[in-house]
Structure 1
């Protein structure tokens, strides 16, 4: 099977590989229990360092821990072996964390024999399909697959069931400076807000303004566009009024006699005569000529 075909099938085969254990259960339905391959000591299981998910809501973990204390782990954690008695999580890190809070010493697991590449792909796709990632984690996950495994944006779109433009817009968020990324990660900004700031001259200042004022995405886009337009607006230039031929001739005559640049501007019945000098000697010569009059 070619590599490209394998990539295209990854998303469709994900549910079968991990057992659809973390998919939401429709109201009124119950999820069939998936049998574990074995039960292992919880300290023998470790998180994957490449799992794109970094943030876990503490209150939700505590709620899940309470449920686990009462009912146990209903759905096993999906792992792969890293040594004879050590395991790395592919799917189910949230259950593993909650099980530790609940004080469990053993957890049920399903063991899948996959290599490093497939484990990374599954971790990213599983999290994205379940919408467990914040926008920044999602973008970093896409970047991992592109950088480490040569995926294209089209490949990712097919795998996760989203459009190429969705993937492209997610990756654009990685152009933002760290302070804006932090606001995106903690929920102060939505992905829509953040995307509006990518091309602005000072996204940090605008991000704080958006968060403080509680602006909608549409208002944030207008604010960003105004700043972009201001950045590219041409510098104001002095408006030069057209001069008649007599004035131009007089300017030339005076300039020739003084050896300096002379400008005459008429305003109604009066006007302004400007003589430009570059050195103190030239200024002294102008004063001498005026005093001689």
Structure 2
């Protein structure tokens, strides 16, 4: 039977209950107090907003071998499919569902929950993050969905998911990189640290190829990216840095805020300190009204 929520909860409220659903049982023991039931495998469909996109054949086959021997020890979390009342949509456990098909199971255990769209994505992200299953790009895409599709802030996400705001912000900046570099991160050709160092470079794709070819460290990549924005002095042979002396993270954050507010944002952060100021420039009174509306909702 579907367990109904007494009231709609905001992100992070009741999170411990969600964590209990997605955390594997110690020793593989099933918890029969959670009202699990068995459902024909063909009646389950994946969640179209599932943040995880990469399922390697080797990992699926390894899990399928375990399922053939021990069965599915952790029930999948599902909800009634909003697009087909005869089916269930997988909220958490798509990898187990895929592996169960390889193991040729006819039915698998599930926990049916009455989750809305926000909770579905939240649980899917929690499950993958708890198991360290998401690569950096997938994790960033999940955070972006929660923020821009459902209107949550980085602070709320950080509090609910037990992450720092800087961790979430730094990952989301990776989504500003060209698709080819994001693919390198997804395929483990580049680490998230390497990719972050390339965010503000004028030619990130070219530099990324150099980093991979030479096996450069993150620090070496940062130096390479900084060198990519130097030009000769008009009178002399030495080089000077173009633009401001702001670090890459500050400039990336300015870009993120400018994209969200659709206004120019400048951050003046005192080096080595905790204070600074943020300047937002508007061109019309309509933009000022829009900014006031955004700030009043914060």
What TM-score range do you get, normalising by the shorter chain? 0.7 to 0.9
What is the TM-score with the length of structure 2 in the denominator? 0.71
Is 1:33 matched up with 2:30? Answer: yes
Partner of 2:91: 90
Partner of 1:261: none
The answer for unaligned runs of 5 or more in structure 1 is 240-293
Partner of 1:47: 46
Question: For 1:144-163, what per-residue CA distance to the aligned partner results, in whole angstroms no more than 9, with x for missing partners?
Answer: 00011111110111111111
Question: For 1:165-217, what per-residue CA distance to the aligned partner results, in whole angstroms no more than 9, with x for missing partners?
Answer: 11110110011001101101111011000000000011001111111111111
Count of paired positions: 228
Q: Residue 45 of structure 2 contacts residue 90 of structure 2 at CA under 8 Å; is this kept in 1?
A: yes
Q: Against the structure 1 CA distance between its residues 135 and 19, is the aligned structure 2 distance closer, same or farther, given a 3 Å change threshold?
A: closer
Q: Against the structure 1 CA distance between its residues 115 and 2, is the aligned structure 2 distance closer, same or farther, given a 3 Å change threshold?
A: closer
Is 1:15 matched up with 2:19? Answer: yes
Return the alpha-carbon distance in structure 2 between the equivalents of residues 237 and 124 of structure 1. Answer: 54
Question: For 1:13-32, what per-residue CA distance to the aligned partner results, in whole angstroms no more than 9, with x for missing partners?
Answer: 3213x2523x7x5xxxx243
Higher helix fraction (1 or 2)? 1
Partner of 1:217: 218
Please report the RMSD computed on the Cα atoms of aligned residues, expressed in angstroms: 2.2
| Rg larger for | 1
Return the alpha-carbon distance in structure 1 between the equivalents of residues 108 and 28 of structure 2. Answer: 19
Q: Residue 11 of structure 1 contacts residue 158 of structure 1 at CA under 8 Å; is this kept in 2?
A: no
Is 1:226 matched up with 2:227? Answer: yes
Return the alpha-carbon distance in structure 2 between the equivalents of residues 20 and 102 of structure 1. Answer: 23
SS at match of 1:40: strand
Partner of 1:237: 235
What is the TM-score with the length of structure 1 in the denominator? 0.72
SS at match of 2:10: helix
Return the alpha-carbon distance in structure 2 between the equivalents of residues 210 and 10 of structure 1. Answer: 44
Matches within 5 A, 1:1-293: 6-16=10-20, 18-21=21-24, 30-35=27-32, 37-82=36-81, 83-228=84-229, 230=230, 233=231, 235-237=233-235
Offset, 1:238: 6.8
Return the alpha-carbon distance in structure 2 between the equivalents of residues 129 and 84 of structure 1. Answer: 30
SS at match of 1:9: coil
The answer for unaligned runs of 5 or more in structure 2 is 1-5, 238-298
Offset, 1:39: 1.1
Offset, 1:38: 1.5
Partner of 1:290: none
Q: Residue 125 of structure 2 contacts residue 142 of structure 2 at CA under 8 Å; is this kept in 1?
A: yes
